[in-house]
Amino acid sequence: MHFERGVLPADGDGVTLGGTPILRKMEREAPMMAAVPQVPPAPPEADAERASALAFPLYADRCLETGEPIREHALAMAQIIQGIRPDADLLAACHLFAIHAVVRDADRWLRSNFGAPVAQLVADLRQLRHLSDSVRKRMRARGPSEDADGRGQEEALRRMLLAMVNDMRVVVLRLASRLQTLRFLAAHRMAEAAVYARETRALYAPLANRLGIWQIKWEMEDLALRFLEPQAYQHIASMLEEKRSQREQRVAAAAQALGALLQQAGIGAEVSGRPKHIASIAGKMHAKELSFDRVLDQRALRVVVDRVDRCYEVLSLVHQRWRPVEGQFDDYIAKPKPNGYQSLHTVVEDDDGKPIEIQIRTAAMHEQAEFGVAAHWRYKEGGGDDRVETEKIAWLRRLLDWQREVEPVRGPEGTDRVYALTPQGRVIELPQGATAVDFAYHIHTELGHRCRGARVDGALVALNTVLRTGQTVEIMSARTGGPSRDWLNPELGFLASARSKAKVRQWFHAQEHEQSVAAGRELVSRELQRLGRTAVGLEELARRLGFSSAEDLCAAATKDEFSLRSIEQALEVAVPAPPEPALLLDRPRAPAAGRGSVLVVGVDSLLTSLARCCRPIPPDPIIGFITRGRGISVHRANCANARTLLQRQPERLIEVQWEPGRAAGADAYPVEVLILANDRQGLLRDISEVFAREKLNVTSVNTLSRRDQAQMQFTIEVPDGDALRRSLAQLAEVKGVVIARRR
């Protein structure tokens, strides 16, 4: 039997790999055999040696993208993991990390031979490697310069990485894999190293910092600095008198001496230390504009005690034992930092005259600094306040501190975000349940409007397909067009983001507004033709009628917000002023009989008419306006048309009032009533009954129904304002009526 090296056959009798049956003939013949009670097999256990024995022959001479042999990479990963926390699952996953490239149906093979936890670790690690490929693709495209939203993208990448994994321990695997890649690139001086270094700075080094895996963090940052800023790296390395291992020995000796001093004083404390690595020194020199000799915390010790008063006792002992450096003491316990950080910081000279920083704090302060809002990575990186991400970080750090083997469990649940990638590798953060249409709108509004199809991980999908974290989405769009109304139907599931829904609604509102403006423009143009005033511009007409623009005027025309007769009034030319206006004002102010029930104060026997634009009725406050050839036009005092005319020609204002003592009901005044209601059978009949009960005459009715909404305009005759108010109150109680008001 022949098959491709490293690829298991899809079928076969008795074929084995490393002593493990792939497909048993007995299993295929089991239905023909007598039923024999079977003891459930024990779940397979993770075994690093067995994993290497099975996987390494399959890797053969295969290499990674960098050219590093897979077998060497796997061994180096396992060595790094061994130094962090020996875990059988993690060590087995190190040897099996590339098994998907050489075995068909690798997930089933892993589960049958090593159990579900290891299979999940390997699957998640593979997913993170694909994410890394997308990030590097984006970084190659943009070159060494950063994006305008570079920091936001880096933070989104870290959140995306955490959201993608099922077993949080895979993050440690990914960090170990990246560190080994950097070591290989450094050893072989490859040109591709800069791209990997930028990705490490953006994604992996900050993550190692948050997890507290310092030995990985400092080596990653130093290697990244070496690739990206070789001159700065060499300068600082040459200034350091000792190698890293020598500095670590000196720090360990100082920690041992301080521990012995505190033990002699009867103070229980935990003392730890670290030498500052090259990248951290370079960062501090750049951020604070310091020379190398002014970076005094190149070596540092941390003392953790149980009480606050012990902090000051330790400080006193330290200053007695070593000479403090003047001006290098900070009491953040008495005066905490704005983010709540508390600790005592002092710099002393050791026995060799070298500066060493000592931080003194309580266990509670240390916990707050490591996991709380004062966490070092928050103010160093500007990390956001994401509850789910913080919980996952804290959970994984506790997991790494456990001294016993633990069952693989998933990190904290509850994330409500999805992180998808553009084909260029940009991370798009979306709400849970988001679709390809949401994705398009989050990239650009116009792309969302013209979205017509989508590919997810290269496969065509329906637009209402729910996206998962880590998927790459490519939007197919039309050159023109807009969204579909189906997208707003929640039952069809096209949109999950409130932001996307709002953009779709805005598009339809804009379309309706454009249609309304076009229809209004036609109405106004026809009215101007009727009046023979086509030379008047719409902007000028809008100004005369009190609108800010011609577009607002046309939109109001279709909504019946003003009468087209107002155009005729606005276009009237000024008439000669009444003769001797001063004499008119000096005449006796005896009221004269006016037309109808309106009196013109100070002038006898003038023709009056009620303006149709506002249709005043008693007891509305009213004003009079002298027209050309039609006497006095009476308007409501708050009439917009009257105010506009009076602003241009205030001299045509004249005082008018309702005739006092006139018998109620002696006159009937036309009033326009607007009703908005949910359309139903019998609605018009019920409204008409209200007018009949009030004995009001209906002179005209105009109705319009659209999408189960009815808009009705009635012209009725009322004796006074009280009758109108009573009828409006009764109309509001009619079933389905939403608004009933006077126009």
Contact between 727 and 715 under an 8 Å Cβ cutoff? The reply is no
Helices 70-84 and 170-188: angle between axes, nearest 10 degrees: 120
> What is the rounded distance in angstroms from the CA atom of residue 252 to the CA atom of residue 242?
14
Residues 66 and 203 in one domain: yes
Q: How far apart, in whole angstroms, are the C-alpha atoms of residue 627 and residue 573?
A: 10
Confidence band, pLDDT 50/70/90 cuts, at residue 276: low
N-to-C CA span, the chain: 91
Q: How confident is the model at residue 510 (pLDDT cuts 50, 70, 90)?
A: confident
pLDDT in tens, 302-330: 899 989 999 999 999 989 888 888 888 88
- pLDDT score recorded for residue 466: 92
Does residue 66 sit in the same domain as residue 177? yes
Residue 95: predicted pLDDT? 92
Report yes or no on 387 lying in a domain: no
pLDDT for 46 equals: 67
Whether 8 is in a domain gets the answer: no
Which residues on neighbouring strands pair with residue 711, listed in sequence order?
Answer: 676, 704
* Whether 304 contacts 366, CB under 8 Å: yes
Question: Could you tell me if 279 and 421 lie in one domain?
Answer: no
The first and second tokens of residue 481, run together, are 């067009």
Nearest to 463 by CA among 431, 432, 481, 486: 486
The SS3 of residue 502 is helix
Structure tokens at 60: 């053969």
Residue 50 lies in a domain: yes
Our count of domains for the chain comes to 6
Is residue 675 domain-resident? yes
50-55 long-range contacts (CB < 8 A, ≥24 apart) are 50/18, 50/92, 51/91, 51/92, 51/95, 51/96, 51/114, 51/118, 52/95, 53/18, 54/17, 54/18, 54/20, 54/113, 55/95, 55/96, 55/98, 55/99
- Could you check whether the bond before residue 591 is cis, i.e. omega within 30 degrees of 0? no
My answer on whether 21 and 145 are in the same domain is yes
Examine the domain organization and report whether 214 and 245 are in the same domain: no
Backbone angles phi, psi at 51, to 5 degrees: -60, -45
Domain boundary at 596, 625, 658, which? 658
Are 615 and 679 members of one domain?
no
CA atoms of 740 and 743, how far apart (whole Å): 10
- Is 380 among the domain residues? no
Residue 485 is encoded by which pair of tokens?
Answer: 């109304």
Asked whether residue 396 is assigned to any structural domain, the reply reads no
Say how many C-beta atoms besides its own lie within 10 A of residue 482's C-beta.
Answer: 15
- Let me know whether 269 and 312 are in one domain: yes
Mean pLDDT of the chain, nearest integer: 75
Are 638 and 678 within one domain? Answer: no
Structure confidence at residue 1 (pLDDT): 33
Q: Which of 448, 477, 496 is the last residue of a domain?
A: 496
The structure tokens listed for 437 are 């249409």
Task: Answer yes or no: do 648 and 596 share one domain.
Answer: yes
Q: What is the CATH number of the domain that holds 165?
A: 1.10.3210.10
* CATH code of 487's domain: 3.10.20.30
CATH of the domain at 699: 3.30.70.260
Residue 700 lies in a domain: yes
The reported pTM is: 0.50
| Other Cβ atoms within 10 Å of 289 Cβ, number | 8
- Per-residue pLDDT band for 180 (boundaries 50, 70, 90) equals very high
One domain for residues 223 and 292: no
DSSP annotation of 7? -
Residue 464: domain span: 417-496
CA–CA gap between residue 721 and residue 381 (Å, rounded): 68
Boundary of a domain, candidates 470, 496, 522: 496
Q: Indicate if 37 and 134 belong to the same structural domain.
A: yes
Q: Which of 1-15, 27-41, 587-601 has the lowest mean pLDDT?
A: 1-15
Provide, rounded to the nearest whole percent, the portion of the chain with pLDDT above 90: 10
Q: Is residue 427 located within the same domain as residue 344?
A: no
